[in-house]
Amino acid sequence: MWGIIATWRMAKEGIDKSVPILEKGGTAADAVEEAIKYVEDFPFYKSVGYGGLPNEEMEVELDAAFMDGASLSIGAVAAIKDFANPISIARSLSKYTVNNMLVGAGAEKYARKQGFERKNMLTDRAKIHYRNRVKETQEMDISPYSGHDTVGMVSVDSSGHLVAGTSTSGLFMKKAGRVGDSPIIGSGLYADSSIGAASATGLGEDLMKGVVSYEVVRLMGTGMSPQEACEKVTFDLDKKLIERRGIAGDISIVAINTDGDWGAAANIDTFSFSVATATQKNTVYTTKRVGNKMVHEEASQEWLEDYLTERMKPLEEK
C-alpha cells in the first residue's frame, strides 16, 4: 500500500508528478523529492523555493529537510541562499553519518562543491510583495509575519518504507539567519518506517515548542490512527500555548502510517492538504475543527482554480 500526503493545496501538482513513481513501485524518497522539487520550482508559491518571499533584508533564505524512516537518516539545510532545490541538498546530506545539518555559508559551500544548481531565488514578483509589505507595515503597523505555504510531505511506498521532507522560505520579513521548524527534525518532520511519518506547517517558533512531528509519530506508535494523533497533538499544543502564553500560533500537521492511513489537523480554518494513495486519486481537502474533531471536505474544482488564480494574478506595486 503506497500513499503520499502534503500540506496545502499547492502540493497537488507535485504529487501528480510522484504518483506514477509510487504506482510503479518506486521509492518514497524519490516521490517526496520529486514532488517537493516541483513546488520549489513553481514561481507563484510565496513560501517555498523560487519566488519565496524574502527576509527583512530582501534576501531569500531557504530551509529544507529530509528524513528516511528506514535508516532514520536525516539531512537538512537552513538559511541557504541562491540554490534551486534545497530538498535535494537536504537529501544528499542524509547519506552521511555526520555533518547532516548545514546552515548559511557552509550549506552553500557544500551545495556548490556537489554541483547543485545555483539560482537567484528572488523574483521580481517577490520584490513587489516586499516593497508593498514595507509600505503597509509603515502605514498600518501590522504584524509583518504572514503568508503560509510551506510544503511538508510524508510518503509510504509499496515496500513499506516511510520518508518525510520539507521545504520553505520561512516567514516573510523574518530576521536574517532566522530558522523555523521546517529543517528541525522532530518539529517540522519525522519518519520511522516501523510506525509512520508526520510533517508540520505554521508558526515555526510555536511548532518547535511541541516537537509536533515526533510527537505525532510517537502517538501513532502507541496505536493511535494518524488522524487521532494529528488531532491530539494539534489541539493539546494549541490549548497549552493559550494557557501558558495567552496566544497560539498557527499549527497544521499531516501524517501517514505504514498502512497508508492518513490524517490531518489544524488550529486554523484555512488549512488545506493534498493526498493520494493506492486506493485514492490525488485529492485536495480543506479542513476545519468542529468540537474535538477535524472535518475534511473535498475541495471543489472551482476552489482549486481560484487558489491558483489568486496566487498568479498580476501584482501591482502599491
Return the active site residues: 150
Nearer to ligand SD4, 171 or 264 (CB): 171
DSSP one-letter code for 215: H
Contacts of residue 166, Cβ cutoff 8 Å, sequence gap at least 6:
36, 63, 64, 65, 87, 150, 151, 152, 153, 182, 183, 188, 189, 199
Residue from the set 55, 201, 257, 272 that interacts with ligand SD4 by CB under 6 A: 201
Nearer to ligand SD4, 18 or 47 (CB): 47
Taking contact as CB under 6 A, which single stretch among the options 30-38, 105-113, 144-152, 273-281 is the one that binds ligand SD4?
144-152
**Chain-centre distance for alpha carbon 63:** 10
181 binds ligand SD4 (CB under 6 A): yes
Taking contact as CB under 6 A, which single stretch among the options 50-58, 84-92, 176-184, 268-276 is the one that binds ligand SD4?
176-184
249 binds ligand SD4 (CB under 6 A): no
155 binds ligand SD4 (CB under 6 A): no
Count CB-CB contacts under 10 A for residue 16. 15
Count the residues of the shown chain that bind ligand SD4, applying the rule CB under 6 A. Answer: 14
Question: In the bound complex, what is the minimum distance in angstroms from residue 149's beta carbon to ligand SD4?
Answer: 5
Q: 3-state SS string over 53-65?
A: CCCCCCCCCEEEE
238 binds ligand SD4 (CB under 6 A): no
180 binds ligand SD4 (CB under 6 A): yes
Residue from the set 148, 218, 289, 311 that interacts with ligand SD4 by CB under 6 A: 148
Residue closest to 251 by CA, chosen among 290, 298, 210, 220: 210
51 binds ligand SD4 (CB under 6 A): no
Question: In the bound complex, what is the minimum distance in angstroms from residue 132's beta carbon to ligand SD4?
Answer: 19
Q: Which amino acid is at 115?
A: G
171 binds ligand SD4 (CB under 6 A): yes
Angle between helices 12-23 and 28-41 (to 10 degrees): 150
Residue from the set 94, 182, 193, 257 that interacts with ligand SD4 by CB under 6 A: 182
For residue 184, the SS3 value is: coil
Contact at 8 Å (CB) between 201 and 8?
yes
Q: Residue for cell digits 511541541?
A: 210
12 binds ligand SD4 (CB under 6 A): no
Nearer to ligand SD4, 182 or 272 (CB): 182
Residue from the set 150, 199, 267, 286 that interacts with ligand SD4 by CB under 6 A: 150
For residue 191, the SS3 value is: strand
Taking contact as CB under 6 A, which single stretch among the options 189-197, 198-206, 217-225, 276-284 is the one that binds ligand SD4?
198-206
Give 31's Cβ-side CA count (13 Å radius).
33
Contact at 8 Å (CB) between 285 and 294?
no
167 binds ligand SD4 (CB under 6 A): no
Question: In the bound complex, what is the minimum distance in angstroms from residue 34's beta carbon to ligand SD4?
Answer: 21
Q: Which amino acid is at 255?
A: A
Residue from the set 36, 38, 45, 47 that interacts with ligand SD4 by CB under 6 A: 47
Q: Supply 226's cell numbers.
A: 494518524
For residue 280, the SS3 value is: strand
Residues binding ligand SD4 (CB under 6 A): 47, 148-150, 168, 170-171, 180-182, 201-204
